[in-house]
Every structure is written in C-alpha cells, then in structure tokens.
Structure 1
C-alpha cells in the first residue's frame, strides 16, 4: 500500500483524490495539508507539511502556486518524493523543483491527464510536416473559478509544439486591433472561462482550404486524479531526479 500526504486536501481536486483513494486498496491517504485546517474523514489535515506526524511514502500536491515553494522545502527536509500537479507555477518555482530534484524524486506535469500527454506526442509527430504551410492556433476553455489564464495545459501544449518547430512561434494571447498581420510565426492562444467546464483544449492547424483539429475534452476531474495516483506509484520506486509524464508513459 502506498501512503500519501495530500496537499490541497480541502480543494476540488483534493476531494476527488480522497474519494478515489477510498475505493482503491492500493493507496491510503494518511494526512492532508491545507490552509483550511480541520479533518477530512478519515485523515487529519494540517496547515503545513512540517506539522505532519504520520509516516508516508509520497506527497501529492494539488494546492495553490503560492504555497508550493514552502511545500518543496518541507518535502526535501522529510526526504519524501513529491508529485506536483499544481498549475500556474512561476519560473522561480520550476527552477526550485529542478534543484530539489537533485536530492529527492520530483514529478511535475502541468496536466496529469494521460490523454493530454498522448496528445502532446501526436502534436510533436505531425507539427514538423505542417509547420511551413499551416497557421497554428489554440483555444482553451475552463470553469469560471479558474484563476490562471491561459491554462498551464495550454502553455504545455504550445511549448510541446514549439519544441519541434524549425521557426519558433511567438505566443499571442488573444487578438485585438484593426491592423493585425496574423503572421505564421505567431501562435494565438485564446482563453474562455465559464460555467463548470472541467477543461477543453483544441489545437487548430489551418492551411489553404483545409483544417485539422486535435481536441481533448476533460469530462470530469477524475482523469487528473487518476494520473496523479499513477505518477505517485511510479515515483516511489525512482531515484532522486526530475520526472514528467514522458517518463511515466515510457515506463
């Protein structure tokens, strides 16, 4: 059994993971962390990892970007592997993760969905053949409570495309004005916020008289919880290092 400390326990994703683990004997949540203290049956919830007394094998984090730096420091002190699923992280936190990964196993993905990460593989395969003749645009949709825009997943998809482009794309966040040139060297990334949409990402390859669309729709948050648990199972067997869905899918 894999013993988990769940960061962001009282959040939407924390509750999804808690429900999923309750029906899976492979995992046990021994403690939670959240700015809102108080028990979330059947485990206690603390204000920080430094307060946690229970023994664990791994930390899973679905919290808020501002809390991650302290969590990383505490995780390193306890020598615990950590799965970071929080989005909207600044560059300084990403650099901190990579530095800490020299001493503990760290897993990070801007999206824990297995489907999104297979989509990335598909995008990297087709982009080199289309880049010179197709404009590339992206539309992402999320619920009205999402704080960051564009989504971390949209940037993850855009970066995966740019990684294989001969001419690197300039990201253009929305289009406004009457004199836009709409250059092929640009990639438009457009954010929609409304209702309870869990997440939808569409990549458009628009050529002369033809259009290719690759789309991923999240129908529930369960897909992210499932990916995080798979990442935790993978990480507890790894040596110190910085890991992503690329390593998990190739394992």
Structure 2
C-alpha cells in the first residue's frame, strides 16, 4: 500500500484523483495540500507544505505554477518521488524541475494519456517522413476554465514536430488580417468553451492532400488513471526525469 500526498486536491484533477484512489487497494491518499479551502472526510488537508507531515511514498501534483518551488523543496528535502502534472511552467521553473530530478525521481507530463504519448510519437515520425513540403497546423480545444494557452499537450506536440523535422518551427498563435503563411511556421489555435476535457488535432497539409492526427479526451478520468499509473511506475526508480515515453513499449 503506497501512501500519497495529493497537491492541488481542491482542483478538478485533484477531486478526480481522490475519487479514483478511494476505489483502489494498492494506494491511498495520506494527506492533501491546497491553499484553497477544501474538506475531505478521507484525509487531512493542509494549506501549505510546512504543515504537511512527510510520511509518504509519493506526491501527485496537479496544483499551479505558483506552488512549484515549495512543493519541490518539500519533496527533495524528504526524498519523496513526484508525479508532476501542473502545466504552464516558465522556462526557469522547468529548469528548477530538472535540478530537483537530480535528487529525486520526477515523472513530468503535460498529458497522462498513453494514446497522447503515442500521438506525439506519430507526429514526430510523420513530420520526419513528410518533411518541409507539408504545412503543419495544430488545433487544441479545452473547457472554459483552462487557464493556460496553448495547452501543455500542444507544446509537447509542437516539440514532436520540431524533432521530426530537425528544425525549430516558428509558432503563429491564431491568424488575423493579412496573415499569409510563411515557410517554417506552425500555426497554433486554442479554443475554449463548455466542458471539453481536451481535444488535439495536428494537420499536415500538402499539395492536393492532407493528413490529420487527432486525440479526443472524453473524460478527465483518463488523465487521473494515467497519473496513478505513473506514480506506481516511479516507485523504486532512481533519481531522474521521467515522462510518458517511459510507459510506451515499442
């Protein structure tokens, strides 16, 4: 039985994780951390990391970029593995995560769906195969409450396209007015509305033909299940930075 700390327990993903973990017999939530008021009848909730006891086998973090530093300080100080699902990190925060991963194992992903990880692999291979003759556009759709745009998954897919081409495409966020496409661009379009859990489409457009690769999330439950899978995978791993590719077997 693994004892976990749920960071961001008051949020959408936090509540989903709580619901799923309650149904399992291989792990349980020992404590929650969230600055927002939240009451759980199953575990104590602390407003900050200074008050949280360190008796845990892992931290599931789906909070906000503002809470990253104290969470990593707590985790590295007590040698606790982290599954990091918080998106919208700044470049300096990404470096902070990389530095912490020299001390503890950290599993970082913008999206914990295995099919999305496979999609990123397919985007990279498709970009490599089709080359610069095909224009690439990316469309992502999320619920009205999502704070960051483009999504973390969209950034992962952009990185995959760049890796396949062996180049760095210039992102163009939306198009308006005189916006004829230029060589070396990748269009990125973010839509927000309703309760969409998430949809990502990568469109490869050539002369007289096009290919699209799409993933649709019908429920946030897939992300929560993937995060739990990542946490169980991380148990016993040495310090380092891990991602969804660690769970893919080719």
Q: TM-score, normalised by structure 2?
A: 0.96
Higher mean Cα deviation, 12-21 or 236-245? 236-245
Q: Structure 1: any 5+ residue segments left out of the alignment?
A: none
Root mean square deviation of aligned Cα: 1.4
- Write out aligned runs for 1:56-67 (5 A): 56-67=56-67
Q: How does 1:1-251 map to 2 (within 5 A)?
A: 1-53=1-53, 55-178=55-178, 180-250=179-249
**For the residues of structure 2 that align with 1:142 and 1:98, how far apart are their CA atoms?**
28
Report the TM-score when normalising by structure 1. Answer: 0.96
Superposition deviation, residue 74 in structure 1: 1.4
Moved more, 2-11 or 121-130: 121-130
Q: What per-residue deviation string (whole Å, max 9, x for no partner) do you get for residues 155-214 of structure 1?
A: 111111101213421111111222x23023100000000011110000000111111110
Conserved? CA contact 1:37–1:46, under 8 Å: no
In structure 2, runs of 5+ residues without a counterpart are none
CA contact (8 A) 1:111 1:224 kept: yes
Paired residue secondary structure (2:247)? helix
Kept in 1, the 8 Å contact 2:123–2:164? The answer is: no
Q: Which 10-residue stretch deviates more, 126-135 or 219-228?
A: 126-135
Which contiguous aligned blocks of 4+ residues in structure 1 show a shift greater than 3 angstroms? none
**Whole-angstrom distance in 1 between the partners of 2:136 and 2:197:** 24
Please, which moves more after superposition, 226-235 or 158-167?
158-167
CA 7–210 in structure 1, closer or farther in 2 if over 3 Å, else same: same
Q: Deviations over 1:103-128 (max 9, x none)?
A: 11111011111111011111112211
The CA distance in 1 between the partners of 2:4 and 2:180, in whole Å, is 51
